[in-house]
A and B are shown apart, each in its own frame.
Chain A
Amino acid sequence: AQTVTQSQPEMSVQEAETVTLSCTYDTSESDYYLFWYKQPPSRQMILVIRQEAYKQQNATENRFSVNFQKAAKSFSLKISDSQLGDAAMYFCAYNNNDMRFGAGTRLTVKP
């Protein structure tokens, strides 16, 4: 079974600084998708960024970028120029046939 591990239950970053959230996953598949979702206190899950496993190029979305290491089964999220609005729970997810989520990392942004 595919599992997703987020080893950092909580992270903290100073406003305008950069933070990296870690994620590893376990799978025997070669074709799959990886995601980072953000869940603010309002509880609405929002897609931050998506990576297709067959693409070697790391995905980027404005201040958000990933470091995808397929052989190492690692998928970290880098948030640059952190803003107060980035404070939320961040979930890493794997999808080959159904979505599997990690336990989440609570990100705090200090002003």
Chain B
Amino acid sequence: KAGVTQTPRYLIKTRGQQVTLSCSPISGHRSVSWYQQTPGQGLQFLFEYFSETQRNKGNFPGRFSGRQFSNSRSEMNVSTLELGDSALYLCASSWGLAGGRYEQFFGPGTRLTVL
């Protein structure tokens, strides 16, 4: 089985722009979660999607949004980029809702740099 894939792997944007990141889960997985990893704040949960519905959301401003398609692929969007949005964005998929019962498999991440 192919693993979780994320595109693009690297991205450079300027302040004020918007960006869309993509995540393709493992085949058969219905849950996709997004995380932000920075040196200062560590790993933080952004949101989780299951069956095209957002099931859970972390403590991030409304500039961060996402969606999930019928094939379970997910996109994450950040509008009006700020310097502090520079981070590694990780996507993880699991068969069921990621309450811990089902193992989450992580993708390689998208490194976003905001200039």
How distant is the Cα of A56 from the Cα of B58 in the complex, in angstroms? 30
| Chain B 65-80 interface mask (CB, 8 Å, partner A; 1/0) | 0000000000000000
Q: Assess whether A100 is interfacial by the CB under 8 Å rule.
A: yes
Residues of A in contact, count (CB < 8 Å): 23
| Residues of the A chain whose Cβ atoms lie less than 8 Å from the Cβ of B42 | 101-104
Q: Assess whether A57 is interfacial by the CB under 8 Å rule.
A: no
How distant is the Cα of A103 from the Cα of B56 in the complex, in angstroms? 22
Kindly identify, within residues 15 to 74 of chain A, every residue whose CB is under 8 Å from any CB belonging to chain B.
32-33, 35, 37, 42-47, 50, 52
Residues of B in contact, count (CB < 8 Å): 23
With known contacts A45-B106, A96-B100, A99-B104, A91–B58 Cβ distance under 8 A:
no
Q: Assess whether B1 is interfacial by the CB under 8 Å rule.
A: no
Task: Please state if B43 and A101 are interface contacts (CB–CB under 8 Å).
Answer: yes
How distant is the Cα of A81 from the Cα of B107 in the complex, in angstroms? 28
Quote the shortest CB–CB distance from B10 to chain A (angstroms): 12
Task: Please state if B100 and A32 are interface contacts (CB–CB under 8 Å).
Answer: yes
With known contacts A43-B88, A50-B103, A98–B109 Cβ distance under 8 A:
no
| Chain A 81-111 interface mask (CB, 8 Å, partner B; 1/0) | 0000000000100011111111110000000
Kindly identify, within residues 96 to 112 of chain B, every residue whose CB is under 8 Å from any CB belonging to chain A.
98-101, 103-109
A interface residues with partner B (beta carbon < 8 Å):
32-33, 35, 37, 42-47, 50, 52, 91, 95-104
B interface residues with partner A (beta carbon < 8 Å):
33, 35, 42-45, 48, 56, 58, 88, 90, 92, 98-101, 103-109
12 A-B contacts (beta carbon < 8 Å): A32-B100, A35-B100, A43-B88, A43-B108, A44-B107, A44-B108, A45-B90, A97-B56, A98-B33, A99-B45, A100-B45, A101-B43
